[in-house]
Structure 1
């Protein structure tokens, strides 16, 4: 199975992508609204199609990307039926199975952190995605959103610790850089519920955490009860079909640029010799070598989208990033550079 673990540093949230290598169908677990472009780029580069977005619970520390995935990619959103969420496609209960290609993932109800928490388990029971129910050497807080330490004790003991000892456990968060544990490890070493801990030990520990409320709770919970749909949906600035790569580079296709070049500022960042050399240059392009770009930023107009150009698309990728950091959002890299431009038979000056 194709597997990737992704991280949002603002909320310390892990997002998980699982894909079927035979069919390219995939699921993505606990998406973050602000990370849609990054995650969609990875999905595209791996040749996958996301069938379902799964949320382990109604998050209090970030807004889910489920609604955004549905709008932009057609993925169906999934959460517990007991979570009380609107704007959702599929409401699941304990024992349900979700298939993606030749792979599947099963649903285990693990309330306690909230009353609608789920753990997702792979078909072979070799991986489990525990959300905020069981963390690495910890457990999710139980002091709001109908949380209950006694309920969490039962969930962990019956639904997670009942999995094979070598089952890998992937949490919804970690604040110390830990990425994965196992059932056996948490049974032995989790300071809250492992070893010889009894229910009263666990409950006493959890009821005395005295943690401050999550910083974004007043924003995240209402948004997540609508599946991540914003109160106001902003109209996109669709000046062109820009695609962000997983490396974070905004790219645009050469053929589109050729059809719209009179509406664009074409910024060639090669050397003067290359500009007039073998590959030539696009008619109307302005030459500002990459090494000089920061000092000559005032020569780049702000009233038109900017297309950065070089030989292969590598130096111009850096130019696009420099321009974006300068606040010029309507900027993209010419995908494949002049090499791809020639390969497609597009006109040069």
Structure 2
């Protein structure tokens, strides 16, 4: 269907030029037509292909069916150093086995924030893969081997993760950006066509909105966007897509706050178990086997 749309756009644009050629107000008429048809064909005009991953960068997206959590395994294929973003306790053995099978050495287990819907796998991974360290934002209030402030880099091999403080869902929310690979890991701050709730755990809708628009939505529009969760089976998005189609974050700030304050969501099922465990970096209630 794309070719007919492009052909139609080209034909309409040609018509605009032909009509403008016979007008005394040629520049103004051209601008009018081109603005109109560029707007009508916004997808064709603005959507840009993502940057290919470099040959020495390994990426694997993993999934926990119970909490609908995405865990991301990243590695430098030359040095074999790896990191895991948002590991889940029940999937720690799966993740450790994969790291071992692929010949990687797990350097860090990172959490984008202190989760309320599952227990982090960081603590168990440290036992399964000795030498690995846990990382979380200092503002989260959770224990970890390394606490991050905005701007603190995280490296594995030659690759670098830049850190953005994006509170609003929780005080300690961080987004992880790899500029060379053109991707951002947004945790619960930006979900695909949604965002994390802001009605508990120091949530603040206004802060979330400001941080998304000033930090995530100012990244290049073709950056891949990887969230911590998805409940509909969508695996990734892009900065441009969420700026264009996110039904909440495309609203004005006041409209967004009204939406978030009136979601009337149920109390998180696992929060009373998950938060105490995650404050301790997930090091208790670790399975015996």
Q: TM-score, normalised by structure 2?
A: 0.78
Q: Secondary structure at the match of 1:134?
A: coil
For 2:287 and 2:78, the matched residues in 1 are separated by: 37
Seen in structure 2, the aligned counterparts of structure 1 residues 44 and 144 have a Cα distance that, compared at 3 Å, is same
Unpaired stretches in structure 1, ≥5 consecutive residues: 237-349
Contact 1:36 1:69 (8 Å CA) reproduced: yes
Query: For residue 214 of structure 1, what is the aligned residue in structure 2?
Result: 268
For 1:182 and 1:8, the matched residues in 2 are separated by: 22
Contact 1:12 1:173 (8 Å CA) reproduced: yes
For 1:164 and 1:9, the matched residues in 2 are separated by: 31
1:85 aligns with 2:103: no
Q: How far did 1:151 drift?
A: 0.4
Q: How does 1:155-174 map to 2 (within 5 A)?
A: 155-174=211-230
Q: Which whole-Å deviations, capped at 9, do the CAs of 1:75-99 have from their partners, x for residues lacking one?
A: 110000011112x100001011011
Q: Secondary structure at the match of 2:170?
A: coil
Q: How does 1:145-156 map to 2 (within 5 A)?
A: 145-156=201-212
Query: For residue 129 of structure 1, what is the aligned residue in structure 2?
Result: 185
Query: For residue 35 of structure 2, what is the aligned residue in structure 1?
Result: none
Unpaired stretches in structure 2, ≥5 consecutive residues: 1-56
For 2:87 and 2:75, the matched residues in 1 are separated by: 15
Q: How does 1:267-278 map to 2 (within 5 A)?
A: none
For 1:150 and 1:33, the matched residues in 2 are separated by: 32
For 2:178 and 2:254, the matched residues in 1 are separated by: 31
Q: How far did 1:70 drift?
A: 1.4
Q: Which whole-Å deviations, capped at 9, do the CAs of 1:171-209 have from their partners, x for residues lacking one?
A: 000000011000000001000012xx2100111111111
1:112 aligns with 2:168: yes
Q: How far did 1:113 drift?
A: 0.3
Q: How far did 1:125 drift?
A: 5.9
Q: Secondary structure at the match of 2:67?
A: coil
For 1:17 and 1:154, the matched residues in 2 are separated by: 29
Aligned length: 232
Q: Which whole-Å deviations, capped at 9, do the CAs of 1:19-49 have from their partners, x for residues lacking one?
A: 0011000110000001011111111121111
Structure with max Cα Rg: 1
Runs of 4+ in 1 over 3 A off after TM superposition: 233-236
1:67 aligns with 2:145: no
Contact 1:125 1:164 (8 Å CA) reproduced: no
Q: Secondary structure at the match of 1:138?
A: coil
1:175 aligns with 2:234: no
Q: Secondary structure at the match of 2:126?
A: helix
Contact 1:78 1:89 (8 Å CA) reproduced: yes
Greater RCO (CA < 8 Å, at least 6 residues apart): 2
Query: For residue 274 of structure 1, what is the aligned residue in structure 2?
Result: none
Q: Which whole-Å deviations, capped at 9, do the CAs of 1:151-179 have from their partners, x for residues lacking one?
A: 00011001100110000000000000011
Contact 1:54 1:78 (8 Å CA) reproduced: yes
Contact 1:164 1:183 (8 Å CA) reproduced: yes
Q: How far did 1:235 drift?
A: 5.1
1:141 aligns with 2:201: no
Contact 1:103 1:123 (8 Å CA) reproduced: no
Query: For residue 13 of structure 1, what is the aligned residue in structure 2?
Result: 69
Q: Which whole-Å deviations, capped at 9, do the CAs of 1:87-139 have from their partners, x for residues lacking one?
A: x1000010110110111111100000001000001132611000000000001
Q: TM-score, normalised by structure 1?
A: 0.65
Q: Secondary structure at the match of 1:221?
A: helix
For 2:287 and 2:96, the matched residues in 1 are separated by: 19
Identify the range of structure 1 (140-149 vs 116-125) with the bigger mean alpha-carbon deviation.
116-125
